[in-house]
Amino acid sequence: MKRAFEIIPGLISWSILLFFLVLVFIRPLMAAVFVITYLFYWVCRLLYMSALLVTANYRMLSNRDTDWLGMCKTVKSDLRYEEILHIVLYTACKESKEVLKESLNNLKDVNYPKDKMIVILAGEEREKGSGEKLKKIAENFKGYFKDILTVIHPENISGEIAGKGANATYAAKKAKELLKKEKINLEHVIISCFDADTCPDRDYFSCLTYHFLSHPKRYQISFQPLPIYSNNIYKVPAFARMIEIGSTFWQLIESMRYEKFVTFSSHSMSFKTLVEVNYWPVDLVSDDSLIFWKCFLKYNGDYKTYPLEVPVYMDIAVGRNFFDTVIVQYKQKRRWAWGVENFAFLGSRIFKNKVIPRIVKIKKLYQLLDNHVNWATWAIIISFITPLILFWGKIVNKEALVLFNLSYINSVVFNTLSFIVLLSVFISRQFIPPRPKDVSRLIYVSFLIQWFLVPLISALLGSIPALDAQTRLMLGKYLGFYPTPKKR
């Protein structure tokens, strides 16, 4: 049954694209009508997403000056904030020392009692010298936190793939041993699983703690910050900046669709809940989103992801040079798109659950399928298939009115995109850190030019990696975990 669910997304995506391509040459007018309908649908969808983006941005801005720590001290709860212990887990594989040091320097300056934090640096045995590197880093930060530990995940454990989920799970199990030894109640512990480059906002842990204390179902909820990829934004090519600004905006939009919102990348949750669902998956790539679905099934559908009002700051994936950065970005986006395995994971399990209503099961599966199929097809249809229909229609002298309508609707789509781009330029300004003194003011020219790359980037580093991932899953060519290069 799982194999069937692995095939479905790729089969649908390829069927849609091939349907349009074949129809272009045998029935160009019919193809034009279908594409006109599709483009009109996307105009409406883009406008809807723009409204969500503005609303989410306003939500972030309106909470910028909130005294979260003060609210922790006065919130009505059966727990006191002094009872809460944070485990901050950094998974590391091949990141430079500078990346980890910057993350820890940021962590020691957050607006929250550091004596309520245990930091774990989780490395991989397969990375030579990882243990020694992490121990040296940990030594530099002794005394800043309640404790800082290093854990090295052994290589070649049966049933595991080499990836973040296996590393994080091994480290979390070691943390549980420590908590048991110190007789700390797991119900009072929040774990934050961070990538090595994650720099949480100064108020992140205060905001997280407040919502944990105040939420009526604190053990049935994950907490998701907004990832802002800006740590090295002045040191990467324009196209890479554009991709990651788009990723931030997508998370902003998703944060307003509460019923569809799942964990992504760096996130936080109750340690008690993590133990109850047997930690992150160790044999799958998309550990960050799959942990949500494990919890969703464990609690019979009564599990949510709450969007925190504060962000975390992360690196833009970059290679040794321009072309290497293209490859790195492609591989990273393909790994993100490998989240399509969630559809097979959920589909092969959810119908065995007798408590979750059937309509909810179908809705969740449809939402996953809709997201991934659109991801793999929309930019290709708009950027390549639509111009092909116009080109071929003129050659065969087909109905000019239909082609005119197609051309008109296509221009409306791009005008809508232009409006969103202008809106995005305005919103993105608040996410960009001050320009370093060693960076020329001319950098702002490339910041403007990058927005003209949206259509091309959406196809080449958006839809195509997604289609690649779905095709591999459909053919059973399973993708391993790709550790994104991160360096200063």
* Per-residue pLDDT tens over the stretch 93-123: 888 899 999 999 999 999 999 999 999 999 9
The tens digit of pLDDT for each residue in 458-478 reads 777 889 999 999 999 999 999
Collapse the DSSP code of 191 into the 3-class scheme (helix H, G, I; strand E, B; otherwise coil) and give the result.
strand
- State the sign of the Cα–Cα–Cα–Cα dihedral 273, 275, 278, 279: positive
What pLDDT, on a 0 to 100 scale, did the predictor assign at position 408?
A: 63
Query: What percent of the chain has a predicted confidence (pLDDT) above 90?
Result: 64
How do the residues of the chain divide into helix, strand and coil, expressed in percent and rounded to 5? 60, 10, 25
User: Binning pLDDT at 50, 70 and 90, where does residue 36 land?
Assistant: confident
Q: What is the pLDDT of residue 400?
A: 53
Whether 258 shows a pLDDT value over 80: the answer reads yes
Q: What is the pLDDT of residues 411-430, one digit of tens each?
A: 766 677 667 767 777 787 77
CA distances 34 to 21, 96, 373, 381, 415, Å, are: 12, 50, 17, 11, 20
Report how far residue 397's alpha carbon sits from residue 395's, in angstroms, rounded to the nearest whole number.
Answer: 6
Residue percentage of the chain with pLDDT more than 70: 92
Q: How many CB atoms sit inside 10 A of residue 446's CB? A: 14
**Average pLDDT taken over every residue of the chain:** 90
Q: Where in the chain is the domain with CATH 3.90.550.10?
A: 67-336+354-359
- b vs e for 235-267, b when ≥16 Cβ sit within 10 Å of the residue's Cβ? bbbbbbbbbbbbbbbebbbbbbeeebbbbbbbb
Please enumerate in sequence order all residues whose Cβ is within 8 A of that of 180, keeping only pairs 6 or more positions apart, or say none.
none
Alpha carbon distance 315, 266 (integer Å):
12
The pLDDT, as a whole number, for residue 407 is 66
pLDDT, average across residues 68-87:
96
Stated pTM of the model: 0.92
Q: Looking at the domain 67-336+354-359, which fold is it?
A: Spore Coat Polysaccharide Biosynthesis Protein SpsA; Chain A (3.90.550)
Q: Determine the Cα–Cα distance for residues 396 and 54; give it in Å rounded to an integer.
A: 44
Kindly report, residue by residue over 361-397, the tens digit of the pLDDT: 999 999 999 999 999 998 898 888 877 776 766 655 5
Residue 401 has pLDDT above 50, yes or no: no
